[in-house]
């Protein structure tokens, strides 16, 4: 006897993690000191990076996961560029417990999205005619654990 999809789904409740799509949700670039900055002979910028991971439940087991990165490049007191980019993806979680979904949204989903965000930012910086800059790898498990520890300290106070 051949099982149909409906028969399988009724009898076998297996967990399913599925990526529906990945997209660039937001991208902005500001270069307030151009063209003067092009002539700075001591081009050695100080670069600050801020990373934010969050998610939103759309319906039932469907979530949007987002990584937002803000990069500020400065030479002395002058901003070379300010980039804010958000890479997002839609993920389905079927038959997965809530606590595991939170972990997947905090670690696995951003790990999947990050290479796309990194490539988009690298491409954008290359188009400015400034020296290229590539984001390093990010350990999302470390960031997730750090966030959990911070939340546990706040709850215990």
For 42-109, give the DSSP string. ----EEEEEEEEEEEEEETTEEEEEEEEEEEEEETTEEEEEEEEEEEEEEEEES--HHHHHHIIIIIH
Top CATH class of 15-152 equals: alpha beta
Rounded CA-CA distance 146/53 in Å is 12
Q: Where are the domains of the chain?
A: 15-152
User: Is there a contact between 25 and 64 (Cβ–Cβ < 8 Å)?
Assistant: no
pLDDT at 140 over 90: yes
Rounded CA-CA distance 69/58 in Å is 23
Task: Please write the tens of the pLDDT for every residue from 75-129.
Answer: 988 999 999 999 999 999 988 888 899 999 999 999 999 999 999 999 999 999 9
pLDDT at 2 over 60: no
What number is the average pLDDT over the span 152-156? 60
Rounded CA-CA distance 30/80 in Å is 8
User: Is there a contact between 27 and 71 (Cβ–Cβ < 8 Å)?
Assistant: no
**Residue-level pLDDT at 6:** 52
What number is the average pLDDT over the span 6-32? 82
Long-range contacts, 36-40 (Cβ 8 Å, 24+): 36/78, 37/75, 37/78, 37/80, 38/129, 40/75, 40/78
**Residue-level pLDDT at 154:** 60
């Amino acid at each position: 006897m051949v099982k149909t999809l409906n028969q399988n789904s009724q009898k076998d409740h297996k967990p399913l993690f599925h990526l529906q799509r990945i997209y660039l949700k937001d991208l902005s670039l500001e270069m307030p000191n151009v063209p003067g900055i092009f002539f700075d002979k001591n081009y050695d910028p100080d670069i600050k990076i801020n990373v934010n991971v969050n998610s939103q439940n759309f319906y039932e087991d469907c979530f949007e996961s987002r990584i937002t990165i803000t990069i500020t490049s400065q030479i002395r007191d002058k901003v070379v560029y300010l980039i804010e980019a958000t890479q997002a993806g839609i993920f389905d979680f079927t038959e997965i417990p809530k606590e595991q979904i939170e972990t997947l949204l905090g670690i696995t989903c951003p790990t999947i999205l990050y290479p796309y965000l990194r490539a988009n930012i690298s491409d954008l910086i290359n188009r400015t005619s400034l020296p290229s800059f590539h984001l390093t790898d990010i350990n999302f498990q470390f960031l997730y654990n750090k966030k959990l520890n911070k939340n546990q300290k706040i709850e215990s106070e």
